[in-house]
Amino acid sequence: MVLRTPRLVVRDWSEDDAAAAMAIYGRSEVARWLSPAVPVIADEESMRATLRGWIAENAASEAGVGHWALTLAGPDGASGRLVGGASLHPLPVEEQDVEIGWQIDPEFWGNGYATEAGRGLLERAFANDVDEVFALVRPANQRAEAAARRVGMTWVGETGKYYGLQLNVFRIRPSDLVAGRSPAPAAEQRSDAGA
């Protein structure tokens, strides 16, 4: 287990997660926002290969950076049903800046899981000496923008230097996370889905 939030367990991926992960990453509502950063995943074997890559990256990465599975926390604290994935990884240009991303199964949209996992992962990143974290959001991805704002990120501009796309850039620093600790109103939580 990487961390536990009130309702989620954030844990390392396993190749055994391939079928459940494919049911999320293979859905058009999720996949349309991921390419080209995450190549289109067409079948379970492609998902298994992607998971193997993420597992290897986690093993070689610095503390606080990686790709993880998001599962519901069982009553005994054990990891339950897979509801999505999240990552903190270096941006492709210069690899000095860290990007956060999350993908939630559309069946679980509206439960605030992206916000909950995002805050937990940001706290972990800042505890491991990451100075700031960015989210790159396509202008039409209103759910991802809302989730970025709910974890305490602020819009800092636009960029065209990543993935060949024009993207909105959100940023958070440790002091912003502390300032953004108040819970979101219930109506905002219901609209939370992540990218």
Alpha-carbon distance values, 179 to 125, 150, 154, 174 (Å): 16, 11, 12, 9
Selected from 3.90.850.10, 3.40.50.720, 3.40.630.30, 3.40.50.920, the CATH number assigned to the domain covering 3-190 reads 3.40.630.30
Q: What is the pLDDT of residue 179?
A: 61
The token pair that represents 151 in the structure block: 């974890």
Among 49, 29, 42, 176, smallest CA distance to 107 is for 29
What span, in angstroms and rounded, lies between the C-alpha atoms of 13 and 62?
17
Q: Note the pLDDT of residue 23.
A: 95
R_g of the chain, CA atoms, integer Å: 15
Gap between the Cα atoms of 62 and 64, Å rounded: 6
What are the CA-CA distances from residue 78 to residues 66, 74, 113, 137 (Å)?
21, 5, 17, 32
CB atoms near residue 88 (< 10 Å): 22
User: 3-class DSSP state for residue 128?
Assistant: coil
Confidence at residue 94, expressed as pLDDT on a 0 to 100 scale: 66
- 195 residues of the chain, pLDDT tens digit each: 789 999 999 999 999 999 999 999 999 899 888 877 777 788 999 999 999 999 999 999 877 789 999 999 988 767 799 999 999 988 877 667 899 999 999 999 999 999 999 999 999 999 988 999 999 999 999 999 999 999 999 999 999 888 788 999 999 999 987 765 544 333 333 333 344
CA 160, 165, 166, 167: dihedral to nearest 10 degrees? -100
Q: What are the helix (H) ranges across 36-161?
A: 44-60, 113-127, 142-150
**Where are the domains positioned within the chain?**
3-190
